[in-house]
Amino acid sequence: MKSMLKFLTVAAVMLACRTQLVAQINVSDVEIVRDSWGVPHIFGKTDADVAYGLAWATCEDDFVTLQHLMLAANGRLGEVTGKNGAMLDFMGQIAQVRQAVDRLYDTSFSPDFLTYLQGYVEGVNRFAQTHPNEVLRKGLFPLTDKDVLQANTLTLVFLTSVYVEIQQIFTRSIVLYERNMQYKGNLPEGSNAFAFNKNKTKDGHTYLAVNSHQPLEGLFSWYEAHLVSEEGLNILGGTFPGGSTIFHGVNEHLGWAATLNHPDLCDVYKLEMHPKKKLQYKFDDGYETLEVFKATVKVKVGAIRIPITRKFYKSKHGTVIKNQDGYYAIRFPANLDIGGAEQLYRMNKARNFKEYNAALDMGRFAGTNNIYADGKGNIQFISLGQFAYRDSSYDWLSVLPGNTSKTLWEPKFHPLADLPSYRNPKSGYLFNTNGSPFFATAEEDNIDPRTINSTFGYQDETKLNNRTIRAHDLISGYDKISWTDFKTIKYDQGFNEKMETFNIKNMIMIEQLSAEKYPDLKEALEVIKSWDHSADVEDEETALIVFTFNKLAEIIMSNGMQYESNSLTEKQYVNALRAAKRHMMKHFGSLRVRLGDVQKHVRGDKVIGVGGAPDVLASNMSKPYTKGRLKTFVGESYIMLVDFDENGVPRIETINAFGASNRQESPHYTDQMELWAQKKTKTMTLDKEQVYKDAERIYHPQ
């Protein structure tokens, strides 16, 4: 009885403390300063004040997307967006994000971070309370800090490509899965990061490029904000709508960029089922029983919402999915450690190289490459990931036997020191464009892949995408670079001349088709062979290339293949080119059309012709629009370019694909589009005095 009373007393104190915390957020201590571009600069006495202000500003600009993320985290997005949302709902339930947060919450965070997080939650809830007509679904609010952490966990499931393995098991046979295990994703992916110090720059400054290639709109699009508190925060950068911290950006001392990496961050096991006893699987010398769980989501169809239920299972390894080939379990770090949110908070607050690396050394982030630069001239690249201690006698890139404890790793991960990393190479530069971490600087400074644990599953230095080869060739062509050169490299839209990378070798196959064998394609082949390997807005051959590529992608995905595996037949190449030719002639009357007349950057009534193609440095991917044209949907999104001068002071330029607000009535809904399309930027500052001087609007949240 005494122990029970003690427990109840402690629980009551904790609840009282939390209630007191929420009451301590005094909105008069929170000030939002909107600049001429509508970007929120948020000032507060405490970090929690600033978190409240960030939440409020995000809701003002994009409450819909924030709600979509929180609905997805709670398995309810299908209630609003229909089939596509329901697929995300199922993904979250398969990944067990809610269970992960419930299990790990009490042991994962420091009190000051929870105070910060709860400030954010209070800001969202207050906005929902004062704007009830904007709430999408009853019961979503009030949010808890666990809801935000579930959203973070779900985001990591996607950023670490776990969804690829889930989809391949869930929708196709395991035979196909085994063949394509080594490929992460399908179409060429994006994101670039560059860091240069005085060994490579003409003015002796240090440069940093933050250049993520995310969806331009939706759950994983970028939202720009500046956070300033009297407790040490002063950071500008990008987060997702619903993110409580800056994901990549710059503070007064340092900055960093993130790109997706592709090591082995998810393991799949085939279970050996008992020949007679239902739901029992062999494990070492005995059998274990699968636990059944049902995932139910509601799908909006017209005015009604239809419940759909699917059966899954739990095993020692993790969630089990049954398909036509058997029972397969998945295990991955993204739902075994939820502390990445606090690690980002510590990175936001770091004041020097040592503090920043101490934040990284927490080892709480499941994946992504990290490229760093600071005002002292330090540059660094670490390919982050949570890698368990795996038995090297197994091939971890293949489907693993689930009948032995030898393949069942514990959630204890290798330290930062074991990961691929570079610090201040002699060459003076580092870069990553989703390529191998063993090809990240000058050849003489690249690390030897044999020094990195083979069970991590990193792609080797021979599998390079176009952006990696192009970046290396451009950078190595300079003895030292100027700020103008830096921008020229970042905005390049060319392919390497040999067209030798795995991402674009399908175009080589197109070029090699015989005009004599296919006389109807003679003109199309002449256009392709005369192409200068550029995706510039003025180029007249690229449109045919892009339409052919899109048709190839359609063929590849409809046949359940992977783009990089390149197992198409000559007939399929011919069909893709014919389809592209027919499309061009039908809609444009010519096979040579200015790319900017075909590919558009679109929001609302604003339509701008743009260049770019998959896997060029200034990348754009497009999808069908109107009248046979295309519109961008993934690629160049939030861009930040930083110049740390001789005194270590950062000069900052940024641009977002559309604007600071996702509300159509806002003047900032489309006001950055022209600059973005022209490869130009806007000037930003961390200086409080300058922010207030240039303010368009200053106010307190409610």
For 38-81, how does the pLDDT look when each residue is reduced to its tens digit (9 = 90+)? Answer: 999 999 999 999 999 999 999 999 999 999 999 999 999 999 99
* pLDDT on residue 416: 96
* pLDDT on residue 599: 98
The average pLDDT across 586-592 equals: 98
Which of 146-160, 417-431, 548-562 is modeled with the greatest confidence? 417-431
Kindly tell me if the per-residue pLDDT of 18 is higher than 70: no
* pLDDT on residue 183: 35
Share of the chain residues as helix, strand and coil, in percent rounded to the nearest 5? 35, 25, 40
Inter-CA distances, 297 with 48, 68, 294, 307, 359, Å:
34, 15, 10, 6, 38
CA separation for the pair 226, 252 (Å, rounded): 12
* pLDDT on residue 377: 98
CA separation for the pair 526, 531 (Å, rounded): 9
For 245-301, how does the pLDDT look when each residue is reduced to its tens digit (9 = 90+)? Answer: 999 999 999 999 999 998 999 999 999 999 999 999 999 999 999 999 999 999 999
The average pLDDT across 84-102 equals: 94
* pLDDT on residue 19: 36
Place of tokens 């403390």: 17
For 360-382, how does the pLDDT look when each residue is reduced to its tens digit (9 = 90+)? Answer: 999 999 899 999 999 999 999 99
Kindly tell me if the per-residue pLDDT of 177 is higher than 60: no
User: What would be the CATH architecture of the domain defined by 504-613?
Assistant: Orthogonal Bundle (1.10)
Inter-CA distances, 202 with 9, 209, 484, 600, Å:
65, 17, 11, 36
CA separation for the pair 478, 597 (Å, rounded): 34
H runs (alpha helix) in 160-304: 162-171, 174-179
- Which helix (H) or strand (E) element contains residue 238? strand 234-239
Of 252-256, 343-347, 490-494, 545-549, the poorest mean pLDDT is in 545-549
* pLDDT on residue 171: 66
The average pLDDT across 644-651 equals: 98
Of 16-20, 148-152, 506-510, the poorest mean pLDDT is in 16-20
Kindly tell me if the per-residue pLDDT of 344 is higher than 70: yes
The average pLDDT across 142-151 equals: 97
Kindly tell me if the per-residue pLDDT of 550 is higher than 90: no
Of 20-29, 120-129, 169-178, 448-457, the poorest mean pLDDT is in 169-178
Residue 189: pLDDT band with limits 50, 70, 90: low
Q: 682: closest CA among 662, 665, 663, 657?
A: 657
Structure tokens at 350: 């770091």
For domain 192-261+337-394+405-490, give the fold.
Glutamine Phosphoribosylpyrophosphate, subunit 1, domain 1 (3.60.20)
- Residue 628 neighbours by CB distance under 10 Å: 13
Kindly tell me if the per-residue pLDDT of 149 is higher than 70: yes
CA separation for the pair 576, 568 (Å, rounded): 11
Kindly tell me if the per-residue pLDDT of 502 is higher than 80: no
* pLDDT on residue 291: 98
Residue 12: pLDDT band with limits 50, 70, 90: very low
Locate the domains of the chain by residue range.
192-261+337-394+405-490, 504-613
Kindly tell me if the per-residue pLDDT of 520 is higher than 90: yes
**What share of the chain in percent tops pLDDT 90?**
83
CA separation for the pair 64, 67 (Å, rounded): 5
CA separation for the pair 630, 549 (Å, rounded): 13
Of 30-44, 453-467, 474-488, 610-624, the poorest mean pLDDT is in 453-467
Residue 441: pLDDT band with limits 50, 70, 90: very high
pTM of the predicted structure, to 2 decimals = 0.93
Of 296-300, 386-390, 558-562, 590-594, the poorest mean pLDDT is in 558-562
CA separation for the pair 354, 573 (Å, rounded): 53
For 447-457, how does the pLDDT look when each residue is reduced to its tens digit (9 = 90+)? Answer: 999 999 999 99
* pLDDT on residue 2: 41
Average pLDDT, the chain: 91
Kindly tell me if the per-residue pLDDT of 4 is higher than 80: no
233: helix, strand or coil? coil
CA separation for the pair 650, 658 (Å, rounded): 25
